[in-house]
Structure 1
Amino acid sequence: MGSIANGDPLPPKPINLAVIGGGLAGLALTLGLLPHSQHIKTTIYESAPAFAEIGVGVAFGPNAVRAMGMISPAILKGFKKHVTGNSPDYPALEDVWASFRYGMDSKTETESGKGKKYGDLICHLRGTEKGLGEMLEREGISTRSCIHRARFLDELVQLVPEGTAQFGKRLVEIEELEEGGVKLRFADGETVVADGVVGCDGIKSMTREMVFGEEGKKARPQFTGEYAYRALVPEAVAVETLGDELAKNCQLYIGYRGYIMSYPVEHGKFINIAAVIQKDNLEWDDDNWIIASTKEDMVNDFEGWGSNIIELISRFETKDKWGFYDLLHEQKYYRGNVCLLGDSAHASTPNLGAGAGMAFEDAYVLSNLLGAARDAQELEKVFKCFNEVRRERTQDVIKASRKAGKVNSFLGEGIGDDFDKLRPDIEARYRWVWDFDLEATLVEAKKM
């Protein structure tokens, strides 16, 4: 550090940080860095012409909602404007994350599963334990926290200072400079030099390709053998088909080689539905992960399921089929002064409802570590510490989500459609995700 004439130390040079991607992950990190704006200058480079989110509803567990509030109370305030839980018409279900039910009649020969019928309740998965749900209660947020992706993104965008984002910036090359820093080249020909880069550009991340290099071929998205039909259905249609209680509260119907999840969004105006199918030795040959399908395909895939569920699926206006990919790998989440966050590092399937929440946990840890960095020379150390405390948990979430897909499809090893084994497995899986001390993780990272 330099000094001025009277011997006082010069203030440290601001760290110039480039955030690649302006989705939920990139915005969460940027907002987490706002309290440190005096010494960290953050610029978002987004390939699209404006901020935008694809997809429909997204669910967040209690751990993720806590992380939002820990990053910034303003994030939580925007989330609360649009968050939707189970219907207030059913107060007994207020703290229920999902009601797990048989989606079709059981075919098992085990004593506990024999005779189970479509619609039979397996369990009401209720809120978090260990006192970690206190913040949700204080903020008036129910355990079931669902939101429309686009609405949430709009709230986050309003919190980003003007001039922070540049659009139409598709990254094509990253070069580490000998003198320090990183040069970025974009498809429009512009080059930018930054002290550090955080890739928040999703499962198809260009940043990841460049960070991993040749080794990255082992860390590319993998098709999991699952696909889903997804739609937003007007509440009236869902109520007419399923009945009031089932339509207005989150249900997860599990069956042979598939499951169907439904939950309200937009304060109950719509019901978000994902109907998931697992198939052996299925390959996804199309480069597009969302492909056109037909009503006949949808109905055939769910042959044997409850009649009203099939009726609801048949009424989907969109017939697209969404392939499920994830990112299970052994690579580090950084190289030099370039780091990966959220789906670019550890995308998971939606089977556990935990993937999006990991980005907010990431953003809390990384924004605080970056805020504690004295200068750009410490960026690689920051990224290394982030990798040390986040890699194992986020990769384990991917594995747990894969298992959830199997269990929800009666394919869980040693579990199948056995009623007595399903409930404890469901409870343990979600508790592990939810009952997590994120603050302790940050303390551990700072000690490093």
Structure 2
Amino acid sequence: MYEAGPEITTVGAGISVWPRTWVIMRELGLYEELASEAVKANDSSGGEHLKPAFFYRKSDWPHEGFEYARVMMPNGGTTMHRAEMVGVLLRHLPPNCSIHTSKKLVGYEEVSEDGRTTYMLHFADGTTAVADVVIGADGIKSKTRASMYDLAHKAECSDPEATKREECRRCRHATPKWTGIVTYRYLIPSDRLREISSTHRALDTPALLSYSGKHKHIVTYPISHGKFVNFVGFVTQEGAEGATYPHKWVIDATREEVVSHYSGWEPEVEQMLRCVENPTVWAIHVLDSLPFSVRGRVALMGDAVHAMTPHIGSGGGQAIEDAFILGRLLADPRTTLARVEDVLRIYQDIRLQFGLGVVHRSDKVGRMCEFDYPRLYDGASVPASCKEDDLDLTKERLGELGRAIEDVWSWQVKEHVEDQWDEAKSRFEALCSEKQRDTSTVGKAKNYWSRVCPIM
């Protein structure tokens, strides 16, 4: 396992854990330990009690806001600090898994010798490694993906010398796209917010909160056992989707900058703005149309395949689902070196389009909760002197919007990761029943196989 940094760390503070992820954690025997790190743990009994997981409020006015949507999940939702989740996973790595740190991947090349292909990995420190199988889990800026598409473009696309990969109709989708969205992030010490408002919803609501406005919204939830409230403020720049972001993707912001975007919102937002400290601004990029995620014996997973907006908190969960399906397929002793390419194609068929579907669901919810979705509430302002009938009409339109948001979220309950594994397993069994083509096991010829881990 090759890690870009000097140690395995995380990017960002909070993470949401939804029912599909808990199913996997139970299967892996990690449920209890992971649940102990959560602010609100799922019910280990496996019950299906529906509880609030996400509240949506109209907040872009100086009056008290009001709820217009409530997403319900089996046993609600769960949040925790990313570092706490990573710590649990690291503690359960098998002893035969070696981690090589400070190995930032530059790219890979295919090396053919005696009719066999291996992969030469090139790292920023000038060193190299040879692998039989490469798994690129190196994020939205994946160098594994860049090399995969460079090689594919050169070998498969018409007139590759005249057309750059970034301009190719197929291969350009491997380049991340700016959504036109930036997020302002900071942690609020819970004690400080409690001094300002002891009854603030962000402190004790057992679910995520979205404070919604036109082309803007804020998501909050407690992390680190309730010691902090994670504040993520979204601002969508109209007409900027697909443009080149003019700055580094993550930079420091100022308190004044954050306050300027949400000034005049409901009292609870104003109270959180009084707690701004050391904010950063992140440009949100996505991969929403990747045509393939496997080539040869190289596969991509996680944000390297389906980087998405954070609007439904599912990026991390989708990476875990990728790993769950891919890991089980590769770990099977029947996965010989000769079968790896077919096994990776099974993984791609099961996971690629599903993951990209989640990307589009997340985008849809983001547009809805910023009052920018066709034929739904458009954020029309309600004057301070509005009549009761005007406010009732606004609430009626928002209720319709809320039901649409709840419907998009329903996939977390209606669709099951176990079904995907059953399909993958069925296809794998069919593959294994075919005529044996090679009895060599994965990596036997070189006595090891390599995985490129997340670049942080």
TM-score bracket, normalised by the shorter chain, equals 0.7 to 0.9
Match in the other structure for 2:14: 57
Residue among 132, 137, 146 paired with 1:195: 132
- Kept in 1: contact 2:290–2:305 (CA 8 A): no
In structure 2, the CA distance between the partners of 1:253 and 1:347, relative to structure 1 (3 Å rule), is same
Residue among 242, 245, 267 paired with 2:225: 267
Residue among 169, 179, 185 paired with 1:230: 185
Residue among 135, 138, 141 paired with 1:204: 141
1:19-418 correspondence runs (5 A): 44-70=1-27, 72-74=28-30, 76-85=31-40, 95-105=51-61, 118-128=64-74, 142-162=75-95, 164-178=98-112, 179-213=116-150, 214=165, 216-244=171-199, 246=201, 247-249=203-205, 250-282=208-240, 283=243, 285-372=245-332, 373-416=334-377, 417=379, 418=397
In structure 2, the CA distance between the partners of 1:238 and 1:422, relative to structure 1 (3 Å rule), is farther
CA distance in 1, matches of 2:124, 2:255: 40
Q: 1:446: Cα distance to partner?
A: 2.8
CA distance in 2, matches of 1:409, 1:403: 10
Q: 1:86: Cα distance to partner?
A: 8.9
| Unaligned segments of structure 2, at least 5 residues | 43-48, 151-164, 380-396, 428-456
- Kept in 2: contact 1:208–1:216 (CA 8 A): no
CA distance in 2, matches of 1:375, 1:125: 44
- Kept in 2: contact 1:212–1:331 (CA 8 A): no
Q: 1:355: Cα distance to partner?
A: 1.2
CA distance in 1, matches of 2:50, 2:107: 49
- Kept in 2: contact 1:248–1:271 (CA 8 A): no
Q: 1:49: Cα distance to partner?
A: 0.9
- Kept in 2: contact 1:227–1:323 (CA 8 A): yes
Match in the other structure for 1:29: none
Q: 1:237: Cα distance to partner?
A: 2.4
Residue among 405, 426, 437 paired with 1:447: 426
- Kept in 1: contact 2:290–2:306 (CA 8 A): no
CA distance in 2, matches of 1:429, 1:414: 16
- Kept in 2: contact 1:222–1:326 (CA 8 A): yes
CA distance in 2, matches of 1:189, 1:63: 41
The alignment's TM-score, normalised by the length of structure 1, stands at: 0.79
- Kept in 1: contact 2:329–2:335 (CA 8 A): no
2:411 is the alignment partner of 1:432: yes
CA distance in 2, matches of 1:86, 1:368: 26
CA distance in 2, matches of 1:447, 1:227: 42
In structure 2, the CA distance between the partners of 1:86 and 1:375, relative to structure 1 (3 Å rule), is closer
Q: Deviations over 1:166-196 (max 9, x none)?
A: 1111112312232133222222232222210
Q: 1:338: Cα distance to partner?
A: 0.1
CA distance in 1, matches of 2:370, 2:254: 22
In structure 2, the CA distance between the partners of 1:186 and 1:330, relative to structure 1 (3 Å rule), is closer
- Kept in 2: contact 1:63–1:435 (CA 8 A): no
Q: 1:243: Cα distance to partner?
A: 4.2
Whichever residue aligns with residue 347 of structure 2, its letter is F
- Kept in 1: contact 2:297–2:341 (CA 8 A): yes
In structure 2, the CA distance between the partners of 1:349 and 1:380, relative to structure 1 (3 Å rule), is same
Q: 1:341: Cα distance to partner?
A: 0.6
In structure 2, the CA distance between the partners of 1:217 and 1:124, relative to structure 1 (3 Å rule), is closer
| Unaligned segments of structure 1, at least 5 residues | 1-43, 88-92, 107-116, 129-141
With 304-313 and 394-403 compared, the bigger mean Cα shift is at 304-313
In structure 2, the CA distance between the partners of 1:407 and 1:205, relative to structure 1 (3 Å rule), is same
Whichever residue aligns with residue 174 of structure 1, its letter is Y
Q: 1:197: Cα distance to partner?
A: 0.6
CA distance in 1, matches of 2:279, 2:105: 32
CA distance in 2, matches of 1:185, 1:436: 40
- Kept in 2: contact 1:226–1:279 (CA 8 A): yes
CA distance in 1, matches of 2:399, 2:79: 29
CA distance in 2, matches of 1:86, 1:172: 39
In structure 2, the CA distance between the partners of 1:59 and 1:173, relative to structure 1 (3 Å rule), is same
Whichever residue aligns with residue 141 of structure 2, its letter is K
Superposition RMSD in Å: 2.3
- Kept in 1: contact 2:245–2:283 (CA 8 A): no
Aligned length: 376
In structure 2, the CA distance between the partners of 1:322 and 1:330, relative to structure 1 (3 Å rule), is closer
